[in-house]
Every structure is written in structure tokens, then in C-alpha cells.
Structure 1
Amino acid sequence: MQVALVTVGDELLDGDTENTNATWLSRQLTDRGVTVTRVLTVPDSEDVIADAVREYSDAFDAVVVTGGLGRTPDDLTMEGVAAAFDRDLVENDLARADIERTLEEIAGDYPDLDVDAAEESLLPEGARPLLNRAGLSPGCVLEDVYVLPGIPSEMKRMFEDVAEEFAGEADSRFVYTDEPEANLIDRLDEVRERFDVKVGCYPDSEAGHNRLKLTASDAAALADAEAWLSEHVSHAE
């Protein structure tokens, strides 16, 4: 399963907010055997969001979009996703009921909160709503596109509800060596070509070693690649 991530927000591009959502989602998906093939950050622009979602929806098995699900002027994610599929935004009854229930629960803590539940419940026509169990604004699933909040705590909680829909066969093994990265090139090329695995080399100066990552969907080939590479490099202590 190949997945693309689209994170939305001017604040990410400006460097005002660290893009922790992309890192967290990539790790979660990779741990589930999914291959994250693209990570793209786009501004709060309906047209740009729509173009990215449309392209990635056609190219990959699924797209996960995070950011901008409220109703402030810069929250254009739902509009962009709807435009990608030529859908209108329509009030979703399930989402509205959940929003109204949440507003009732927090009314005592936020007596001056002014939220239009109907406006807040607008989703692309035909989308499956994803209720926001850690916040207010709902997400949705439209065809192969999953739309999650940008607030990390809300995004993580909503992802739990759809995590089982992401599964792949890719797995990884690690070999650690104290050899310099430049000295490993020939052997890394050989293990990749010999066993048809993806190879990564990640120096860790603090630990004083290189972490060699082997990834493949074929479990036997991956085990053979790990065994071969382990025999052909010196190991870090």
C-alpha cells in the first residue's frame, strides 16, 4: 500500500509551526507496513490543495490530508478536497449531531463560545464523516482521501479510528556499523541489487555509528539481505 501525505498550512511553510504531523503519520503508517511515497506541504489555498489531492488520489492507494478544518478564513482544507472531486460542501447530519453534543458538554467551560453547528458540519457531498473525539471540527473520508485535523492531539485521536484501514506488507531490518558512510557504498549497492531491497544509510554522530535500514515486502529476501549485510560490515559496539 502506497500513501501520500499532504499537510496544509501557511504556518508550516512560514516555519511558525513545526510539522510534527507529517513525522508522526509517517511513522504510524510505516509501522503498519505502508509505504509513504510522498510528503507535501501546501499553503492555505483551495486551488493548490485541490490540485495536490487530485494528483495524489490518482497516483497512490490513499492520501492523508491534515490541517485547517475549522471555519476561520484560512481553513480551506475541506473546500480544497471537495473541489478536487467536483463535490459541493453539504451539511452532514451525523457530524452536526456530534458537534452539537460536544458544544453542550463544554458550554459550562466556554459560555461565550459562538459556533454555527451547521456551518461547522459542512463536508464534501458523499463523504464519510470522521467524528472529532478530541475536539470539534469533523474530518472525513472521500474516496481514497482521508482528511484529518491539523491540531496534533485531534489528528492522532482521529487517526485511531481509521488506522485499521491502512495495512501493507513492507517491513524493515536494521544493521549498525562503525564504518564510515563513504566506505559502505559498494556493499549497499550490492545488497540492494542482490536481494531487491530498499537501502538507507543514516549516520548518528552522537551514537558513533551508521544505521543501515533494509526495507522490503518479501520477508525471505529481507532476512537474507540482513544476514548478508551483517556478514559484510563491521559492527558497532
Structure 2
Amino acid sequence: MNVAIVTVGDELLAGRTTNTNATWLSEQLTERGVSVERVTTVPDRISDIARVVNEYRAEYDAVIVTGGLGPTHDDVTMEGVAAALGCSLETHDGALAWLEEDGYSRADLTAGTADLPVGARPLHNETGVAPGAVIESVYVLPGVPAEMRTMFDSVADEFSGTQTYREVVVADEPESALLDRITAVRERFEVSVGSYPGDSVRLSLEGTDEETVLTAAAWLRDHVERTE
């Protein structure tokens, strides 16, 4: 299964808010064997949300959209998703019922709080107000981290893939000097290798067979310079 993540918010693009949602979602999905192929941030603009969601839902098994839910003027994510799928918004009675159970009177709710794309499956916001939604392969979650995490947990079982295993080897050599060993370990074992330079070079080995990954990492440790 492959997934694209779309985070919505002018404050993210301006650097005023750290995009922890994308990192957390990527970690959760990777642990479930799901391949995260794209992480994209778009402004609070209906046309941008619609364009990106429409493009990604055609390319990936699922799209997760976070942020911009609610009834205020800049909460336009539901409108953008509805536009991407060619449908309108309507007040969802089930979502309103949940809110009433949580102590919110319909009369006191701001207009638009429970508006979802027509045909969407509502997702209850257990720690906030604005509901989420699932429509076709698009999952719409809140931007508030606590709300997003709780809501994702309610649909996490709908995301699965091939389990991958990972080992890290730290080499005390320049990255350019390691190219021959990186090539060799790829040729000897069914693993992918990522190289991340810094004070030392972290070599990340990944594969679908745990024993192969462990053996490849052991071989690589024997063939690079390391500080014990």
C-alpha cells in the first residue's frame, strides 16, 4: 500500500508551526508496512487543496489530509476535498449527533461545523469538535496534533502493507569513500541502502526479510571503519 500525506496550513508554510503531523503519520504508516510516497504542504486555499488531492488520489492507494477543519473562514479543507471529488458539502446528521452526545447543542454550534462532502463517512473527533471524514480513498483529519492522532488511531487498521526491517551502520569514513561498499552490499543482499552524512555517515539498510537485513548489516560493519 502506498500513501500520500497532504498537510494544510499557511502557518506551516510560513514556518510558524512545525509540521509534526507529517512526521508522526509517516512513522505510524511505515511501522505498518505502508510506503509513504509524498508529503506535501499546501496553503489554506481551496484550489490548491483540490488540485493536489485530485492528483494524488489518482496515483496512490490513499491520501491523508490534515489541517483546516472547522467552521472559520480559513478552514477550507473540506471544501477543497469536495471539489477534488466533484461533490458538494452537506450537514451530516451523524456528526451532529456525535457532537450533541459530547455536550454541544446544535443551536450553539457555528454553521458549517458538521459539513462534510456528500457521501463521506464521518470520523468522530473524540478530543475536539470538528469531525473528520473518509470519502473514497481520501482521509481528512484535524490539524491539532492530539485530535489528529486520536482520529488516525480509529482508522489505522485500514492501512497495511509489507513489513520492512531496518538496521543502521555508522561508518567513520567520508561518504564518497564508501561507494564501493554500498554497491557491494546491494549486490550481495536484497536490501536498499540509504546514506546520511554528518559527523559520521549513517548507512541505513532496509529489506523485507529480517535475517537478510541483519546479515547485510553484519557484513557491512566488517567492511567499514568504525569507532568502537
- Give the structure-1-normalised TM-score: 0.87
Give the Cα separation in 1 of the matches to 2:159 and 2:51: 23
> Which one of the candidate residues 158, 169, 172 is aligned to 2:166?
172
> How far apart are residue 222 of structure 1 and its match?
3.2
- In 2, are the aligned partners of 1:50 and 1:80 still within 8 Å (CA)? yes
Is 1:89 aligned to 2:66, yes or no?
Answer: no
Deviations 1:60-88 (A, max 9, x none): 11111100001111111111111111011
List alignment gaps of at least 5 residues for structure 1: 108-112
The reply on whether 1:161 has 2:161 as its aligned counterpart is: no
Deviation (angstroms), 1:217: 3.0
What secondary structure, in the 3-state scheme, does the structure 2 residue paired with 1:202 have?
Answer: strand
Alpha-carbon displacement from aligned partner over 1:109-148 (angstroms, at most 9, x marks no partner): xxxx9523x6211111111111000100011111111111
- Return the alpha-carbon distance in structure 2 between the equivalents of residues 103 and 13 of structure 1: 35
Partner of residue 110, structure 1: none
Which of 187, 191, 207 matches 2:181? 187
Alignment correspondent of 1:28: 28
Alignment partner for residue 137 of structure 2, among 144, 168, 172? 144
Task: Give the conservation status (yes or no) of the 8 Å contact 1:33–1:171.
Answer: no
Q: How far 1:162 moved relative to its partner?
A: 1.0
Which deviations, in whole Å up to 9, do the C-alpha atoms of 1:182-233 show, x marking residues without a partner?
A: 221222233234434322122453xxx4321112234454344334323322
Gap change, CA 1:215 and 1:83, over 3 Å in 2: same
1:199/1:212 contact within 8 Å kept: yes
Per the TM alignment, residue 180 of structure 1 is displaced from its structure 2 partner at its CA by 2.7
- The whole-number CA distance in structure 2 between the counterparts of 1:153 and 1:216 is 32
Deviates more, 1:54-63 or 1:183-192: 183-192
1:1-237 matches, within 5 Å, as: 1-104=1-104, 114-116=108-110, 119-169=112-162, 170-205=164-199, 209-219=200-210, 221-237=212-228
Q: What runs of 5+ residues in structure 2 fail to find an aligned partner?
A: none
CA pair 194-2 structure 1, distance change in 2 beyond 3 A: farther
AA at the equivalent of 1:158: M
Residues 51, 164 of structure 1: alpha-carbon distance in 2 compared, 3 angstrom cutoff: same
Does structure 1 retain, via aligned residues, the 8 Å contact 2:70–2:112?
no
SS, match of residue 102 in structure 2: helix
**Aligned to 1:120, what secondary structure does the other structure show?**
coil
Q: 1:157 to 1:236 in 2, by over 3 A?
A: farther
Matched residues, number: 226
- 1:129 alignment partner AA: P
Letter in 1 for 2:63: V
Contact 1:7–1:42 at 8 Å: present in 2 too?
A: yes
In 2: Cα distance, 1:22 partner to 1:174 partner: 23
Identity %: 55
Question: SS in structure 2 opposite 1:174?
Answer: strand
- Aligned 8 A contact 1:45 1:76 in 2: yes
